[in-house]
Amino acid sequence: MARVWIPALLRGMTGGQSEIEVAGQTVGELIDQLEVRYPGIRERLMDGDRLRPNIAVIIDGVRSRQGLRQPVNDTNEVHFVPAISGGCSEAHERSR
Amino acid sequence: MSGENQSVEQPTYRVVGTRPIRPDGVDKVTGRAIFGADVRLSGMLYGRVLRSPHAHARIKSIDTSAAEALPGVKAVITGRDFPDPQNKVAASGEGTVNLRSLAHNCIARDKVLYFGHAVAAVAATTPNLAEEALKLIRVEYEPLPVVLDVLEAMRPDAPLLHEDLRTNEMGQRSERPSNVANHTRHERGDVEKAFAEAAVVVEREFRTSMVHQGYIEPQNGTVLWNADGQISVWCSTQAPFDERSQIAEILDVPVSKIKLTPAEIGGGFGGKLSVYLEPLAAMLSKKAGHKPVQMVMNRAEVLAATGPTSGSCIRVKMGADRNGCIVAAQAWMAYEAGAFPGSPVDAGAGVIFAPYRIPNVRIDAYDVVVNKPRAGAYRAPGGTNAAFASESVIDELAEQLGIDPLEFRILNGAKEGDRRADGPVYRRIGFIEAAQAAQAHPHYSAPLAPSRLDPTGKNPAIKRGRGVAAGFWFNWGGKSSAWASLNPDGTVSLIEGSPDIGGSRASIAMQLAESLGVRFEDVKPAVVDTDSVGYNDATGGSRVTFGTGWVAYRLGQKLKQQLKERAALLWDVSPEQVQVEAGMFSCNGHRITIQELAAKMHETGGPIVAGDTFESEEYGPGFGVHIVDLEVDTETGKVQILRYTAAQDVGRAIHPSYVEGQLQGGVAQGIGWALNEEYVYDADGHLLNASFLDYRIPTALDLPMIDTVLVEVPNPGHPYGVRGVGETPIVPPAGAVANAIYHATGVRMTTLPMSPARILEALGKV
Amino acid sequence: MSKTLVQARINGEEVAFVCEPNQTLLEVLRNTLGLTGTKEGCSNGNCGACNVILDGVLVNSCLVLAVEVAGKSVTTVEGIAGPNGLHPIQQKFLEHAALQCGICTPGFIVAAKALLDHNPHPTEEEARRWLAGNLCRCTGYDKIVRAVLAAAEVLQAAPAT
């Protein structure tokens, strides 16, 4: 099972747990599994059927480019972090 | 050469690592290169913008009739001429952009949110006439309370910029409206417990002012909205494809109606990633009867209404044990986003403790709107503010522990496998190598550089000191697309879509030459319009030499494969049997050069062309460590930089001269930020220093030679080991300078810029 | 507004143009004469991007009215290279990678030409002081100063014509 790091602001939903073992073949399935265990967490990570635009998925230290479809395996460590535009980026703005 | 090159391993390259003359060089030293404002079209009109004299006001009415009646005026527009985009968030390069914010920033609708906010625009037959017409536009404003300071804007009773703005906390919106657009938290371990057990704890609050990228070329845009609905745009941009999308959304036209031709660009540093003038010029063009309209900002407009990066308030607390290991770090960071959400505070939160291995961390980051211009990206956005704070505190920790400041950083330095403060684990990085290179540099063991003001060393008012600081930047890969076609004489035309802002035509062409096995001079790079090449992400994020370089490498391999097939055809062997070395193809005693194969191209199957698009996420972050010697005149408060050395892990320097240049340029901007640059507002939000006389960037006289050490720890994620280099070097200077001022004077400076007035104040002299 | 006919020598050629009394030399160079090599960075004499040489004196063309150049000689960046190719200053700027974006480069080339005309053997300090009127935001000036000093050496060995 992949090891998912729960963002600090969502740990209220996981009883303070910061790392959770989750089963799933893709990032989307990991979120589905989290939602089963911690109802409401999906809405915090996703906007409709996609990841919130200001959230990036980092798998083993490398940013995923395939969003919810990104495959994961049992040895992966998965982080949901602010989508730092790696560089110069348009300062990423939130939808209001 | 000012620099030195330290390589962990040095494969043999023919082109990579050499210093050829850039392909666009002659045009740029003779004045022939066409920058945005140099575009000339037949029947071109000139556009000017009317800007708000208020920092916060409701627009009650706009009367443009007198301006329209002036002979020679061909069109007048206001916000009402534009569709109102919804709160749509569009992909924009590596980040996203709220199109409604962007549209309202280009031209105000019901409210103006900062001094200099565009309110109306005019197109006329001459620039002077357009300027005259602006004076005839009557705008009735209802001034509103102004909030300029990040901490004041966070107060519950602060004047609100946007009545509908709620605080987002990872997907949860606050009940009440607020100027705080976003709050992010990173937390790992138990900071309270660690601080309680630490041997030494240092805590300080730091303030920094808004500063500008300071590119020398003002924003410009020339647009023809043709009678057939096709819109042609020429402008200076880092992001042709993203700006094309932005213009399409703001004008509500399909993206395919727009062709954007990037002109040569006179600096950007992140400030030319989004549109300001182009949608206005387009609308003026349409309204003027489909005539081309050119708009160019003056310097006051550039400073008042474009670019700046955030002023900030940062509180840092760090603790270490008796052995000198950092055990806990905490940061509270609030950044001014300007008039619309989107400060780089999250990036700052990623930078602030990045070089170090710290088991217990908590970071809170707040993005706050204020009545100042909308913050854009500026070289390592958010990083300089953050490192100024953390590197000052680290310096103080090292001092209290009695450990050499570089030794302390190496002792706590992050390595492959260590965890970043925000959670993920580092892959191969070169922080330790960069810090060791700085430590081993003769500068670090030399006596303090000689004084300029006090050569005999007898004036007690002149104090000298040395400081060090580290810095980090994420870097970026991004998407690049390009074409390469072989010419009959064996040269290669390279068609790319990454605007060349600092010599990248050279670094990209060099990688293609290396990969294919031709000379650098045999590759002819061209940066083309958005219709002529596939999508490219912005020139930014220190990505082009990495990301577009990856594509150039792949193009070289693809051409080589086709050439093998041609050689195989000539010799009646299979392509796999053909060997190739440095442009020479051989098999079974046959030998043929690329030039000879190129000459036979049309008799062996026709043109040899390759196209490619690619994105890699394995760009790998950059780390730098800087050393500065300076002197402080304690009578005047003036600081003079005496000696500066920047060491950085650059992965692999494709063209070392331009890599050195990136380090030197980043250092210069960082020194300006540290010592002089700041936006000065009066209480009503009027910008008081909107000129290069009063917003003072460093001159040749303010700086010494800047020594560089290019540490080459090859990035395993790139065929030649490239890492981005452009942004990291602006991160350490403010911290290094502050630490040197402390060592010179015994006073810790906690506010940027460390201007003469602030130094004297800190010294208790005023 | 009444217009004035102005005759001047620009880059060695006799030129006549018509301008309004409030037009700057910079405007006329760029918009009337098509010499867009001279750049506009600040419009108030603080950045040096519009440097030209006026009768041997380095000036900011944004601060000179076009009517003032009547009967005078103007050298812009377009007039620096000789018939046989680049001027040593231009060549050294390329060899030393003394430009990144290139927008300030024309002003620096012209300013460096004026410096070496006045002082063929400047020290680093003298070069920095002379070039302090030209802003560059990309390079940190290191490679620019080296290029100018290197050009001085070349000119010393073989003065450009």
Same domain, C54 and C110: no
Return d(Cα B12, Cα B623) in angstroms, integer: 25
Residues C99-108 have pLDDT tens digits of: 999 999 999 9
Q: What is the mean pLDDT of residues A42-47?
A: 93
Centroid of chain to Cα C125: 20
Among B649, B603, B214, residue whose Cα is nearest residue B427: B649
In this structure, the number of other CB atoms found within 10 A of the CB of residue B207 comes to 17
- In the stretch 49-88 of chain B, residues with CB closer than 8 A to chain A read 87-88
Q: What is the mean pLDDT of residues A54-73?
A: 90
User: Sorting pLDDT into bands at 50, 70 and 90, what band is A61?
Assistant: confident
* Mean pLDDT lowest among A50-54, B203-207, B719-723: A50-54
Q: What is the mean pLDDT of residues A2-12?
A: 95
Question: How many independent structural domains does chain C possess?
Answer: 2
Collect all residues with Cβ–Cβ distance below 8 Å to C57 and sequence separation of at least 6: C114
Residues B668-679 have pLDDT tens digits of: 999 999 999 999
Same domain, C150 and C93: yes
Q: What pLDDT is stored for residue B93 in this prediction?
A: 47
Mean per-residue pLDDT over chain B, rounded = 96
**Looking at the predicted structure, is the pLDDT value of residue C138 above 90?**
yes
Mean per-residue pLDDT over chain A, rounded = 86
Q: What are the tokens at B430?
A: 């070169």
B417 located within any domain: no
User: Sorting pLDDT into bands at 50, 70 and 90, what band is A62?
Assistant: confident
In this structure, the number of other CB atoms found within 10 A of the CB of residue B570 comes to 18
Considering C54, C77, C100, which residue would you say is the last residue of a domain? C77
Same domain, C69 and C33: yes
B31, B217, B667 member nearest C41 (Cβ): B217
Q: What pLDDT is stored for residue B7 in this prediction?
A: 62
Collect all residues with Cβ–Cβ distance below 8 Å to A47 and sequence separation of at least 6: A53, A95, B171
CATH match for A2-82 among 1.10.10.10, 2.40.10.340, 3.10.20.30, 3.40.50.970: 3.10.20.30
Centroid of chain to Cα A9: 12
**Looking at the predicted structure, is the pLDDT value of residue C156 above 70?**
yes
Considering C77, C108, C133, which residue would you say is the last residue of a domain? C77
Q: What pLDDT is stored for residue A66 in this prediction?
A: 86
Q: By residue range, what is the domain housing residue C146? A: 88-157
C116 located within any domain: yes
Q: Is B21 on the interface with C (CB under 8 A)?
A: yes
The DSSP H or E segment spanning A34 is: helix A27-37
**Looking at the predicted structure, is the pLDDT value of residue B96 above 60?**
no
B212 located within any domain: no
**Looking at the predicted structure, is the pLDDT value of residue A95 above 50?**
no
Among B398, B467, B473, B502, residue whose Cα is nearest residue B645: B467
**Looking at the predicted structure, is the pLDDT value of residue B10 above 80?**
no
User: Sorting pLDDT into bands at 50, 70 and 90, what band is A87?
Assistant: very low
Type of residue numbered C47: C
* Mean pLDDT lowest among A74-88, B40-54, B271-285, B322-336: A74-88
Q: What pLDDT is stored for residue B761 in this prediction?
A: 97
Considering C56, C77, C98, which residue would you say is the last residue of a domain? C77
Q: What is the mean pLDDT of residues C67-94?
A: 97
B457 located within any domain: no
Residues B395-407 have pLDDT tens digits of: 999 999 999 999 9
Q: Describe the strand order of the beta sheet including B172-177 as a list of residue ranges.
A: B172-177, B166-169, B180-188, B360-369, B326-338, B312-320, B200-208
B586 located within any domain: yes
In this structure, the number of other CB atoms found within 10 A of the CB of residue B255 comes to 14
- In the stretch 310-339 of chain B, residues with CB closer than 8 A to chain A read 337
Q: What is the mean pLDDT of residues B652-666?
A: 98
Same domain, C69 and C127: no
Q: What is the mean pLDDT of residues B354-379?
A: 97
Contact assessment for residue A85 and residue B95, using Cβ atoms and an 8 Å cutoff: yes
Q: Suggest the residue from A88, A92, A94, A95 to mutate for an interface test with chain B (most B CBs closer than 10 A).
A: A88
Same domain, C68 and C127: no
Q: What pLDDT is stored for residue A82 in this prediction?
A: 86
Percentage of chain C modeled with pLDDT above 70: 98
**Looking at the predicted structure, is the pLDDT value of residue B559 above 90?**
yes
- SS3 state of residue B702: helix
Centroid of chain to Cα B249: 24
Q: By residue range, what is the domain housing residue B583? A: 476-615
Q: What pLDDT is stored for residue B35 in this prediction?
A: 98
Q: What are the tokens at B116?
A: 């200099």
Q: Angle, to 10 degrees, between the axis of helix C88-95 and the axis of helix C105-118? A: 130
The CATH number that applies at residue B605 is 3.30.365.10
B351 located within any domain: no
Phi, psi of B225 (to 5 degrees): -95, 100
Contact assessment for residue B273 and residue A88, using Cβ atoms and an 8 Å cutoff: yes
Q: What is the mean pLDDT of residues B73-81?
A: 98
Phi, psi of B710 (to 5 degrees): -90, 105
Residues B506-517 have pLDDT tens digits of: 999 999 999 999
Centroid of chain to Cα A70: 11
Q: What is the mean pLDDT of residues B170-194?
A: 96
Question: How many independent structural domains does chain B possess?
Answer: 1
Return d(Cα B446, Cα B453) in angstroms, integer: 19
Q: Angle, to 10 degrees, between the axis of helix B656-675 and the axis of helix B733-745? A: 50
Q: What pLDDT is stored for residue B582 in this prediction?
A: 87
Between B and C, how many CB-CB pairs are < 8 A? 193
Q: What pLDDT is stored for residue B88 in this prediction?
A: 63
Collect all residues with Cβ–Cβ distance below 8 Å to B256 and sequence separation of at least 6: none
Q: What pLDDT is stored for residue A94 in this prediction?
A: 29
The CATH number that applies at residue C148 is 1.10.150.120
Return d(Cα B180, Cα B367) in angstroms, integer: 6
B88, B424, B541 member nearest A86 (Cβ): B541
Return d(Cα B75, Cα B403) in angstroms, integer: 67
Q: What is the mean pLDDT of residues B418-437?
A: 93
Percentage of chain B modeled with pLDDT above 90: 95
Contacts of B129 in chain C (CB under 8 A): none
Q: Is A54 on the interface with B (CB under 8 A)?
A: yes
Q: What pLDDT is stored for residue B4 in this prediction?
A: 73
Q: What pLDDT is stored for residue B92 in this prediction?
A: 53
